Amino acid sequence: MNRVLVTGGAGFIGSHLVDRFLQQGFQVRVLDNLEPKVHPYGRPVYVPSEVEFIEGSVTDPGVLARALQGVDVVSHQAAYQDYMLDFSRFLEVNAVGTALIFELIVQGRLPVRKVIIASSQAVYGEGQYECGQHGFFLPQPRSQRQLARGTWEVQCPCCAREARSLPLKEEQTNPFNQYAVSKLAQEKTALGLGWLHGIPTVALRYSVTQGARQSLYNHYSGVCRIFFSRALCGHPLIVYEDGQQTRDFVHVQDVVDANMLVLENDLANFQSFNVGSGKATSVLEFAQTLLRKLSSEVEVHVSGEYRRGDNRHSVSSIEKLSSLGWRPRRNNSAIMEDFLSWIDSIGGIPQHIRDAYSDMRSAGVVLSSVP
């Protein structure tokens, strides 16, 4: 397998995969639509000149058919991600775009030998929980009524007692918001069509991936972008809810390692795998660690607000992928150091960045609680 198509190859994770494929001797083709909200200045300088670059969308049959010609591997990293309210676009890009990849491979009888799909921890929805009295359950998202009261923890639907979050295992999915639904639809489409048509396919459910090259312009692009941007500009860090919600932060290079492992391992075929750190970190803890690393006197503002559609706790079990020989090797400190080094290398935070917090408040995505 020596020629690879990386969709979304100008993006955060995709560009790191491009680098790794080149290092390992692949001929690399990139398909990216250079979404203005992510790439306002066009093709990023970090995309190597030696790649074949096609500007276009995974939803465009003509462009996608050209991109698929002659490739052995498809690394499908392109996705639509945001917190805003254009619901239909999530399914159009993430699910329909994936279906189109398989449609063109099958119709054209293209000799693609492997497809790797970038999925998301979001497919678990509010998560997997256990009540001491009533046992395991998959919760619905916390209601607007509950969140408006400032009651943050997930409660058992039978007895209304606070429940215990469990490590997220691949067998149980429960998506609710538009992004999560689109990613599970993408997975099922890819794994199902891959199985039916004999195209080895793997779906990787990324946890909160962080590191260098995260877009500084996209509202969705992650806690490093948001916190570093605000801290370096002297603004307080805004933490939603009470700051004790937990996340599973994973370094982008560990995600790249996972992709390369499943590429070469046939035992991974036709399965979904979590890719995370397997460790819980509260958002407040992450913010405080970041400020210590910067030696910053900026304050953390625990706002008591909440973001519509956010879940309370998300920490993935990584046992399944670990059984194939993968382990995360980089911690939160490495994530922050690498992100900061990258910011320094590009001359600091750009002056004109839209304030995601204000935009989300205006759109009704961020709401206030009244405890």
Residues of the chain above pLDDT 70, percent: 97
CA atoms within 13 A on the CB side of 110: 26
pLDDT at 172: 97
- Are the C-beta atoms of 71 and 65 separated by less than 8 Å? no
Residue 127 to residues 10, 59, 247, 365: CA-CA distances in angstroms?
Answer: 31, 30, 12, 20
pLDDT at 84: 66
Using the predicted structure, report yes or no on whether residue 362 has a pLDDT greater than 80: no
Both structure tokens of 70: 């002659």
* Other Cβ atoms closer than 10 A to 175: 18
Sorting pLDDT into bands at 50, 70 and 90, what band is 236?
Answer: very high
Mean pLDDT of 179-189: 97
The SS3 call for residue 204 is strand
Angle made by CA atoms 188, 137, 304, in degrees to the nearest 5:
95
Look at 162-171, 202-211, 301-310 and tell me which has the smallest mean pLDDT.
301-310
More confident site: 367 or 280: 280
Q: Provide the CATH number for the domain around residue 269.
A: 3.40.50.720
Look at 90-104, 175-189, 340-354 and tell me which has the smallest mean pLDDT.
340-354
d(CA 370, CA 149): 5
What's the pTM value of the predicted model, to 2 decimals?
A: 0.95
Mean pLDDT of 242-246: 97
Sorting pLDDT into bands at 50, 70 and 90, what band is 178?
Answer: very high
Using the predicted structure, report yes or no on whether residue 50 has a pLDDT greater than 80: yes
Mean pLDDT of 183-191: 98
Which amino acid belongs to residue 216? Answer: L
Round the CA-based radius of gyration of the chain to a whole number and report it: 20
Using the predicted structure, report yes or no on whether residue 175 has a pLDDT greater than 60: yes
Looking at the DSSP assignment, which residues form a beta bridge with residue 118?
204
The boundaries of the domain holding residue 341 are: 3-368
Distance of CA 59 to the CA centre of its chain: 20
Mean pLDDT of 327-355: 89
pLDDT at 355: 67
Which amino acid belongs to residue 220? Answer: Y
Sorting pLDDT into bands at 50, 70 and 90, what band is 65?
Answer: very high
Sorting pLDDT into bands at 50, 70 and 90, what band is 86?
Answer: confident
Mean pLDDT of 271-296: 96
Pairing, β 27-32 against β 52-55: parallel
Using the predicted structure, report yes or no on whether residue 204 has a pLDDT greater than 80: yes
d(CA 90, CA 81): 7
Tens of pLDDT, residue by residue over 117-164, are: 999 999 999 999 999 999 999 999 999 999 999 999 999 999 999 999
Both structure tokens of 65: 């058919």
pLDDT at 49: 95
Q: Tell me how many domains the chain contains.
A: 1
Using the predicted structure, report yes or no on whether residue 371 has a pLDDT greater than 80: no
User: In the chain, which residue ranges form alpha helices assigned H by DSSP?
Assistant: 12-23, 61-68, 87-90, 97-107, 144-148, 178-196, 223-232, 252-264, 283-294, 319-322, 332-345, 356-362
The SS3 call for residue 327 is coil
Using the predicted structure, report yes or no on whether residue 363 has a pLDDT greater than 90: no
Looking at the DSSP assignment, which residues form a beta bridge with residue 155?
162
pLDDT at 79: 95
Using the predicted structure, report yes or no on whether residue 370 has a pLDDT greater than 80: no
User: In 315-355, which residue ranges form alpha helices assigned H by DSSP?
Assistant: 319-322, 332-345
Phi, psi angles (nearest 5°) of residue 8: 70, 30
